[in-house]
Amino acid sequence: MKVCIMGQGYIGLPTAALFTRSGCEVVGVDISEEIVKNLNKGIIHIEEPGISEIIKKAVENKIYTASLTPQKADAFIITVPTPYIAENYSCDLSYVITACETILPYLEKGNTVIIESTIAPMSTDETIKPIFEKAGFTIGEDLYLAHCPERVLPGKIIEELIHNDRIIGGITPECSKKASEVYGQFVKGDLMLTEAKTAELSKCMENTFRDVNIALANELVKICAEIGVNALDVIEMANKHPRVNLHSPGPGVGGHCLAIDPYFIYAKAPETAKIIKLARDTNKSMPDFVCEYVKKIIKKGKIAILGVSYKGNTGDDRESPSYEIIGKLSSDYEIAIHDPHIDKPNFVSFDDAIKDSNLILVLCDHDEFKNLDYDLIKKSMESPIIFDTKNIIKEVPKEIKLFNYGNLYELS
């Protein structure tokens, strides 16, 4: 089987890697000339365990090729971004539409087209299907169209692509069957065949569930800071109940899924999806909450920012609330940013970040931040203070003041 994958990012590239490992020939299409050039040398641009070795081997064996343009194939998979439109929170399908139109000259009867990009309910039926019908194809007879959303955890993408159950949402039952044959090349989890619209809403609800529950934890933090209760103790003790699992609070919600997908549902039914929108508003408010308490801790000086990735132990900073926090603080404070998983020109080493700083602000739960060099911190800071918004630092020397979501009420 030959597979053409549109988009070689956090989902497209790992998917390409696994198809090659199953013996399929893969063409990975991306709009970036630099990414294409490096991939054809076996050099990957994302931090994800296991992928680099697979791609290098596939390039050497000539079963993986990166390209700026598609090629004819048996199956085409679309893995391009789907941001939301700020004016009405609806799903921006422009990248998906462009990708679909781009593959039209390469399609042949009997091909399978799969949309992996997360999209709003009814998008495949109402927007994507007509593109191929207008080109003369009959969906379910000579072209098989399905929405098969990814559901993976950064840092474990290879493992989860293989072992997680997969939703296969076809426009017709035959479309579902054909798409399942494509994923059957490497997926060991259950292949759950359904309709495209059900698959679309299922994916959005998976991330909405998590967003709503994080919002509940974040709202609890605000309540506890206001009334003088340790929120972290409340969460720990409540979770001892056999049917309770309060999520972890934080500085906000990032990533291309949780921070965006709930809006796709809300935009479809804004008068009904009130809990979904309120949860989004709550999580969107957390950068302001963090900044409010930073200003209560120190009035001026230098802040050492530890971590901008939206998820620990990855270099993925898409939709990260850290950048909003940095932007809000930069007008009143000197900012030094350190993230061991991201290399940017304005980022500095840990030593340089904390040198002469007045506050260490932890915004990401990288393992490197769980056991900091406290001796160096005491030498580098005149009055060492840490504000840990990810609640990962459990104990510090008595010379260091630690604030987290358990004791913010001390600042009120």
- Known catalytic residues? 203, 257
DSSP state of 72: -
Distances (CA, A) of 210 to 21, 36, 271, 405: 32, 34, 21, 20
Vertex 246 angle, CA 395 and 371, to 5°? 20
Q: Is 88 helix (H, G, I), strand (E, B) or coil?
A: coil
Do β-strands 166-170 and 302-306 pair in parallel, antiparallel, or remain unpaired? Answer: unpaired
The two three-digit tokens of residue 79, written as one number: 């893995």
The two three-digit tokens of residue 242, written as one number: 């056999």
Do β-strands 359-362 and 90-91 pair in parallel, antiparallel, or remain unpaired? Answer: unpaired
For the chain, the residue count is 412
CA 3 – CA 65 distance, rounded (Å)? 11
CA 170 – CA 177 distance, rounded (Å)? 8
* Residue among 366, 361, 371, 321 nearest 339 (CA): 366
* Residue among 12, 34, 15, 16 nearest 25 (CA): 16
Q: Is 147 helix (H, G, I), strand (E, B) or coil?
A: strand
CA 107 – CA 30 distance, rounded (Å)? 18
Query: Do residues 117 and 148 lie in contact, with contact meaning Cβ atoms separated by under 8 Å?
Result: no
